[in-house]
Structure 1
Amino acid sequence: MKKYKFIIVEGVFVCCLLIYCVKGSFAALSLGNSKWGEILPKKMSQEDKAFSKSLAHYTMGLIYDREGNLETAIKEYKEAVGYDYNNTQVHLRLGSDYIIVGNLQKAIEEFKNVKKIDPEDTKSRFLLALIYTAQKKFTEANSEYQEIISIKPGDLNALTSLADLYVIQENMVEAAKVYEKLLQTNKDSALMHFNLGIIYSRLNKIDEAVKELKEAIRLKDDYVEAHLALGVLYELKGQKNEAIACYEKALLFDPLNVRIYHHLGEVYYRNDKIDESIHQYELILKLNPKDLEAYVGLAYVYLKKKDPESAINIIRRAQSFGLDDFKLLLAIGFAYSLKEDYEKAIQAYNDVLKKEPTNARAHFYLGTAYERVNKKEAAIRQFRESIKFDPEMAEAYNYIGYMHAEEGTNLDEAMGLIKKALELEPNSGAYLDSLGWVYYKKGMIDEAIIYLEKARKIVGDDPVIVDHLGDAYDKKGEFDKAIKIWEECLKFNGDQAELKEKIKKEKEKLKVKNGK
């Protein structure tokens, strides 16, 4: 599924934007509304003169700030601090400028000074938390938010920022707790219900996530992101019609949103509604003729339709707009493989690897193409490259193992590789068949039958699996079982002359066995 994420303040650049917001309140300072204006008496003492000088430097700092002369502004603020160290507003302003010029350590020092001077100040803690988040010092950022919440238990900004921090840390359990607390006093916030729904989905609490997203939509019917997220969750639940309804509802509010058409194209594709899927992708390309993902998606729809020529034409159309991405080359490789033009497929996959030399899937499909043209060693090299770049590429482990089994070579290695594939995907009928076939080649017929029967139970009457299982029963001398299995296979593969010949010979063996 496509993941929905919160907009979380992580970078120093975003921190700077927030700093400017903070500065906005400072810029309004004048003798009438500032600290200095309130305390300056008509007759000035030495202490009062210090305040006056501090104010003068602070004012000059503001002027230099407005001119964009930050270095000089910083000098003025430092002078102001020298005359009036306990004025938190000057420290905040100085820290803000340090952030903008990139001196985060100095900024941290100034905000810490504010905390010492005024233990109840929350602005300094908020800015410190933003800096720590940008530096990925999540423990320190968490502490600052917790301090803000202890000072102002209902501070909405602090609580939502703390939740976002937990999301950055992938601590979804704590993030959910914060939003659950927020919703106790903000039940009518569609945004909070949406965020909690997304967090629940990350925790695999799908039903709870659906409930929160529905509530977000109830509160804000035109909440496009909520409709999209709900559609994705319905897809996860296998409720494709409900998913389509969500995406179509989102279109009512945002008919030019190409992401919605992408969702519809994908769900129709997965639901084998080929024409509807093609229609959605073509709509996207009318809105944006250079949408790479739409071309890729449309090409795969045609490949699913077993129409490689149309897929190739779509890719050429994309390339005519100057699009040159490895995803297009990978798709054209699939198309040529489907046409059994393996030399062109090999060229396409090699072109992918020129752009993406560590692309494990490209190495894997290049290996399959080499295997089809009987370049066994080249194929195995590519499968090993695939595993090197993606140690969880189960297909590659299985392919090498099965190739060895077919050749009757390196059977111990083959068994280890296929068992590794099954560790990664324990319910794969294809991998169970491969393991059964290795046992068969090793002469361990009882073990072979166990795994081949498991494979058949998962996959059904796949001709390869049924053929292997029949061979195993034949090897064990149970000719009647072999005949029965092969005859069942003929029902959906009646044109296999080789299989018919095997059945004929097996019946002759059975006659001999029975003494007839």
Structure 2
Amino acid sequence: MNYDVIITGSGPAGSTAANLLSRKGFQVLLLEKTIFPRKKICAGGLTPKTIKLLNEIDIISYKELFSDTVNIKKIIGVKVFLENLSYTGTFEGDFGATVNRKYFDELLAKKAVKSGAKLIEAAEVFEPILENGCVCGVKYKKVENSLVFVKEARAKIVIIAEGASSPVTRILSGFNKHHLVRAVNTICEPPRPGEKEHFEFYFDKTLLPGYFWYFPFVSGKEYGFAGFGLEKNVNLKKEYFQMHEKYLNGVKVLTKPHTWIIPCDYPKKIAGDGWLLIGDAAGLANPVTGEGIYYAIKSGEFAALTAEKALHKGNYSLNTLKEFKILIDDRFKKEYNLSKVIKKLLPLGFHKAFFSAAARKKGILEKFMTGDMDFNKISIRKILKYLFFITFIALFFHGCGTAPAIKEEKKAYYPPYQSYLYYSQGALLSRNWLFDEAIEKYKKALTLDPESEVINQTLASEYTRIGKPDEALKIYDKLSSLSGDLKTLLQSAAFYIENDKFDRAIEICSRIIQKEPISPDAYFYLGNIYYKQDKTDEAINMFNKVIELDPKADTTYFNLGLAYGKKGDFNSAEKNYKKAAEINSEYTSPVFALGLLYQVQGQPEKSIEVYKKLLSLSGYDARVYKNMGLAYGQMKKYKESIENLKKAIELDSSDLDSLQRVAVMLYQEKDFNGSLEIAKTLAASDPNNADAYQIMGSDYTELGKKDEAIIAYNKFVELDFKNPLGYIYLSYLYAKNNEQSKMIPLLEKGIKIIPDNIDLLLYLGGAYYEIKNYEKAEAAYREILKKKENDERTLYSLGVLLEHTAKYEEAVACFKKVIAINPRYADAYNYAGYIYADRNEKLEEAVSLISEALKLEPENGAYIDSLGWVYYRLGKFDEAQKEIERAVIILKKSGYEDPTVFEHLGDIYSVKKLSAKAKEMYEKSLKQMENTSVRRKLDELKKSESK
């Protein structure tokens, strides 16, 4: 079946997109690599804006969410602790919550299914299907009867929502270098249940810019999540217990600390021909707090809106889907940039001043800590900075194991001589992978002996192998209807199971049991059927019947482990994996699965012990070393991690993924020379690997080799010339080298190749503005507005330029258009009002405009200065003095002193005959920046004093 949309990953992002699109009547396939209920290591915090969003888009109502007191805990606010200080903020009118992620994720997926989406679990998506450069589907793996079957699903649009480390994410976006927040948490039991109702954050100086947290949580009795996130390379679990003893003394730890990694970089390449990236796959998480559920759900909503529009238009190219990136930028870009600045400043002692200032204004503290602030309305200098990420693989396993060997009938049937000759020739061709030629020989054999079950079975198997199940089905329908042979019936049942024809398979298995009630094979197949139908208890019953009949059935113990794992009973899963390996010491599948089980549960130490045992067995070395490397990475033992990944590469030189992981890990460890050498090896092995040159460019940049970095990034642009990031990175390097003459041609080249990319045009306009070529800057902005007339970023930038070139009326018109598009764009209100104030015209309207800005951001020092300046123009000098003095204090607390604000205050003091104070303000202004007008005012003031 062809779908309208395929979504890979059923976390909050994927399930939201699936739900919204299914409601619109679109055919949606949701592929999940694990099996629900799945374990998700997460603090489980839902901010008020997340809960509001779920209610607004009709996913989960307030009533439904808070009616579940077992899996949901209502949160009334936040508490922030700084050494010996503490601040508390209470949510106004709304509540936050903590949730059980195992319950929450399954609930979202079920709601998507209820809306009409089809969910397939244990489906490991590993590759996109490309036709003429456009993604039109995915390939995924399903383990059935111990065999790995590759299946395909096709759709008009594919949405990737299974994380930044997924193979499809890496193939499509190259987004496999992550700026990571490393996190650890446990479940705790406080001594006094119910006393905690806040999200608690502890900013310890040893953790900055990370923090320690405690989130209260309810599950039958009072529990809580505790943990912390940071970027430092430390033993997270050891550090956790130190923080726990320091801040949560008396709170009992119930579980071992579990660690995980949060990728939180600003989205780069997240859309292409036929595909979108959302949630963790796009790196969407707050860089300061690590909060990601809101970002996941919001990106799922944006993806659904974009896909819906594309499906209605019948156009699934990047030209249509690029609107998703525009939505993401408009909502999150400025928030991310400011958060990164704050995060950089926290370790420098900024945290005390910041939280002290935030706590003074009601609503600011809790909004900042939960991500509820409207960062898009905060004016900051644009930051052009690139960050790279280290990837983290979410390991999983699924499917059923190999069927027990089927006992042969005592009498083997051989066809007549001539048919046997063709049959033998076909077998020889098949062993040499010449399947089509083999089929022709089997057909000839069958014409001579049409009733031969051996030839029919073999021909059906060949059809299955080359992907012609319909031809195989004809043969199996005939065989299963007429044959009474046990082997033939079992092979037919296996085929029907593989092709999801479960009713027919159950019918055949029932016939086998009637004929031979003690046949373990029929029960084994029934167990597989029930497993695939999500009837886990029935599957376990069938597998246990096999064990009763054959206590040494190692494969059945393995499948019991899988079934218990699917049910969430990990202790029983572990027990059965161990039993399977005990019965058959050469059976490696359950041992490897046991290692994976420990790894996905956040127990890398145990998984490493298992993998070391596997190294003595053949056939697993490369995979084992790779997984050991990843496990050591989970433990933050990067030296051991790199050593094992290198061993995996030695055993499998084609494993370029591990090679790239080593390069990125070395970069993360600040071994830039080592990372550079690996990146060079990667480029030599795969000359078309753009990511290799991106890593090289970052290494050269860190090593201070700007010229080499420019060469590497030029190669990155050459190989991935449709990726706007390459042009932006190079422009940044040219700017650092004061080579503006190269920066602008580069951006213009990118625009020719990607003419519809608004971001490049916006950067080009900014570049022209910086070199004071205002005519070309204006032309670039107006070109964007031809493509998207209501782009508020461009309208605002154009307004700033027009004001700078003395086109005041046009500038105000731009700002008013921004306000019409987005009534909460505070900067636009302020800028328009300030123009009126500075020109001493329409002063009452100026007061109205600036007052609107202050309603949105009451503690914005620049806006307060604007209001004071209007009062000055109106002759209300006392009011003007009060406001601008307040502006100076607020700006100083934020670490910024504005020369214009000092000048304004000096003018007020001057008109009020406060000469000493006026002189002081003018001198402060000149200290910040030399200004002819201010210098003249100061000289005149000194001259008047000397008379």
TM-score by length of 2: 0.37
Residue identity matched to 1:185: V
Alpha-carbon spacing, 1:117–1:20, altered in 2? closer, same or farther (3 Å): closer
The alpha carbon displacement at 1:282 in A equals 3.5
Counterpart pick for 1:219 among 621, 637, 644: 644
Superposition deviation, residue 352 in structure 1: 3.9
Match of 2:762 in 1: 330
Tell me, in whole angstroms, the C-alpha distance in 2 between the residues paired with 1:299 and 1:190. 40
2:755 is matched by which residue type in structure 1? Answer: D
Whether the 8 Å CA contact 1:224–1:254 is kept in 2: the answer is yes
Map of 1:49 onto structure 2: none
**C-alpha displacement at 1:212, in angstroms?**
3.2
Match of 1:95 in 2: 497
1:224 & 1:469 partners in 2: Cα distance? Answer: 60
For 1:229 and 1:342, locate their aligned partners in 2 and report how far apart those are by CA, in whole Å.
41
1:467 to 882, 899, 903: 903
Instruction: State yes or no: 1:365 paired with 2:794.
Output: no
Q: Which moved more, 1:72-81 or 1:297-306?
A: 72-81
Do the aligned partners of residues 19 and 502 (structure 1) sit closer, same or farther apart at CA in structure 2, a change above 3 Å counting? farther
| TM-aligned CA deviation for residue 313 of structure 1 | 1.8
- C-alpha distance in 2, partners of 1:23/1:357? 52
Contact 1:176 1:196 in 2 (8 A): no
2-structure distance, mates of 1:142, 1:360: 50
Q: Which amino acid aligns with 2:853?
A: L
Between the two proteins, the alignment pairs up a number of residues equal to 428
1:407 and 2:828 matched: no
Give the SS at the match of 1:254. helix
Q: Which residue of 1 aligns with 2:938?
A: 503
Cα deviation, 1:281-329, whole Å, max 9, x if unaligned, reads: 2354577777754333223333455554422222344467x45351432
> Equivalents in 2 of 1:403, 1:60: separation in Å?
79
CA-CA distance at 1:499 after TM superposition: 0.5
Q: Following superposition of structure 1 onto structure 2, how do residues 128-207 of structure 1 map, counting pairs within 5 Å?
A: 143=568, 148-149=573-574, 151-152=576-577, 155-157=591-593, 160=596, 175=600, 177-179=602-604, 181-186=606-611, 191-192=626-627, 195=630
1:379 correspondence with 2:814: yes
Q: Distance in 1 between matches of 2:596 and 2:682?
A: 27
Report the residue type matching 1:467 in the other structure. Answer: E
Q: 1:339: Cα distance to partner?
A: 3.6
> Could you tell me how far apart the structure 2 residues matched to 1:457 and 1:267 are?
37
Identify, as 1 or 2, the structure richer in helix. 1
Give, in whole Å, the separation in 2 of the partners of 1:193 and 1:475.
Answer: 74
Rate the CA distance shift 1:177–1:490 in 2: closer, same or farther, 3 A.
same
| Equivalent in the alignment of 2:385 | none
Deviation at 1:498, TM superposition (A): 0.5
Match of residue 826 from structure 2: 397
Residue 461 (structure 2) pairs with residue 62 (structure 1): yes
CA distance in 2, matches of 1:307, 1:422: 41
Query: How has the CA–CA distance of structure 1 residues 89 and 407 changed in structure 2, closer, same or farther, with 3 Å as cutoff?
Result: farther
- After superposition, the Cα gap between the structure-2 partners of 1:109 and 1:399, relative to the gap in structure 1 and judged at 3 Å, is same
**What is the percentage of aligned positions where both structures have the same residue?**
18
Contact 1:231 1:246 in 2 (8 A): yes
Structure 2 residues not aligned, in runs of 5+: 1-31, 34-123, 127-136, 150-403, 414-450, 502-527, 545-555, 579-589, 616-623, 650-657, 838-844, 872-878
SS at structure 2 position matched to 1:14: strand
The answer to whether the Cα contact below 8 Å between 2:881 and 2:908 also exists between their aligned partners in 1 is yes
Q: Deviations over 1:143-200 (max 9, x none)?
A: 498875563266534764896xxxxxxxxxxx562545423534796644654577x6
Q: Which amino acid in structure 2 is aligned with residue 218 of structure 1?
A: E
Aligned to 1:15, the other structure's residue is in SS state strand
Residues 1:86 and 1:70: Cα distance change in structure 2 (over 3 Å): closer
Contact conserved, 1:285 with 1:291, CA < 8 A, in 2?
A: yes
Query: Cα–Cα, structure 1 residues 57 and 275, in superposed 2: closer, same or farther, change >3 Å?
Result: closer
Give the structure with the larger strand fraction. Answer: 2
Verify: 1:482 aligned to 2:934, yes or no: no
Contact 1:265 1:281 in 2 (8 A): yes
Quote how far apart the aligned CAs of 1:483 are. Answer: 1.7
Q: CA separation of 1:472/1:182 partners in 2, compared to 1, >3 Å: closer, same or farther? A: farther
Partner SS, residue 495 of structure 2 = helix
CA distance, structure 2, for counterparts of residue 228 and residue 358 of structure 1 = 43
Change (3 A) 1:304 1:274: same
Relative to structure 1, is the Cα distance of residues 274 and 36 closer, same or farther in structure 2, using a 3 angstrom cutoff? Answer: closer
Distance 1:150 1:360 in 2: 60
TM-score by length of 1: 0.62
Matched, 1:22 2:108: no
Paired residues of 2:880 and 2:908 also in contact (CA < 8 A): no
CA distance in 2, matches of 1:85, 1:349: 73
Letter in 1 for 2:888: L
Is residue 298 from structure 1 mapped to residue 730 from structure 2 by the alignment?
Answer: yes
Instruction: Give the Cα separation in 2 of the matches to 1:366 and 1:108.
Output: 64
Question: Is contact 1:92–1:110 with CA below 8 Å preserved after alignment?
Answer: no
Per the alignment, residue 37 of structure 1 pairs with: 408
Q: Indicate conservation of the 8 Å contact 2:864/2:887, yes or no.
A: yes
In the other structure, the counterpart of 1:111 is 532
- Provide the rounded CA distance (Å) in 2 between the counterparts of 1:196 and 1:387: 48
Letter in 1 for 2:496: L
Cα gap change, 1:85 to 1:434, in 2 (>3 Å): farther
1:453 aligns to 2:855 (yes or no):
no
**What is the SS of the residue equivalent to 2:408?**
helix
Q: Which moved more, 1:10-19 or 1:482-491?
A: 10-19
User: Which amino acid is 2:665 matched to?
Assistant: L
Q: Residue 125 and residue 334 in structure 1: after superposition, are their counterparts in 2 closer, same or farther (change >3 A)?
A: farther
- Given that residues 227 and 247 in structure 1 are in contact (C-alpha distance below 8 angstroms), is that contact kept between their aligned partners in structure 2? yes
Q: 2:826–2:853: 8 Å Cα contact kept in structure 1?
A: yes
Q: Which has the higher contact order (CA 8 A, sep 6+)?
A: 2
> Residue 330 and residue 417 in structure 1: after superposition, are their counterparts in 2 closer, same or farther (change >3 A)?
same
Deviations 1:23-74 (A, max 9, x none): 68xxxxxxxx9525157799xxxxxxxxx99988755542432454312424
Cα distance in 1 for partners of 2:912, 2:475 equals 94
Note the residue ranges of structure 1 that are not aligned, 5 or more in a row: 1-6, 25-32, 43-51, 100-106, 130-139, 164-174, 201-207, 235-241, 424-430
1:459/1:144 CA distance change after superposition, 3 Å: same
8 Å CA contact 1:231–1:243 kept in 2: the answer is: yes
The one of 864, 876, 881 aligned to 1:435 = 864
Question: What is the CA distance between 1:380 and its match in structure 2?
Answer: 1.6
Relative to 1, partners in 2 of residues 1:184 and 1:490: Cα closer, same or farther, differing over 3 Å? same
Q: Could you tell me how far apart the structure 2 residues matched to 1:91 and 1:371 are?
A: 77
CA RMSD of aligned residues (A): 5.1
Map Cα deviations across residues 261-280 of structure 1 (whole Å, 9 max, x no partner): 32454577699975554343
Compared CA separation, residues 453 and 67, structure 1 to 2 (3 A):
closer
